Amino acid sequence: MPVDPTGADLKRFLAEDPGGPVVMLNLLQFREDGASSYREYTERIGPFLEKVGGEVIHAGDLGTALVAPDGWSWDALLLVRYPSRQAFSQMVADPEYQQITGLRTAALDEAVLQAGVSWPI
């Protein structure tokens, strides 16, 4: 299972943009000893998030699943809010950001990276 979006994934992500802020859901399954590499990635991502107006909403370990499909096994959850899909795309295209993405890639065995749009409540 790939853990990084491709250029085609990012094009589709932008093409399907409903506008407005986006919350990126990151479900993470670490490789053996990958958690420390991912934590280093999260420590170093701060300036890149600030640059595009993004913020971490939640980062932490996942515990017992109360309702989930068989085999559902994620180690951690990261929720990041961006002011727009374009802001996310701008961040991941930043050459300096790309220098730290290897930490994320090396840390993960599997991942889900999915855009969430707020409901008008």
Whether the pLDDT of residue 35 is over 90: the answer is yes
Could you give the CA distance from residue 81 to residue 70 in angstroms, rounded to a whole number?
29
The stretch 7-17 carries a mean pLDDT of: 93
Whether the pLDDT of residue 12 is over 80: the answer is yes
63-90 burial: b if 16+ Cβ within 10 Å, else e: eeeeeeeeeeebbbebebbbebbebbbb
pTM for the full predicted model: 0.91
> Which domains are assigned to the chain?
7-62+74-116 (3.30.70.100)
What is the pLDDT, as a whole number, of residue 118?
Answer: 87
Distance of CA 6 to the CA centre of its chain: 14
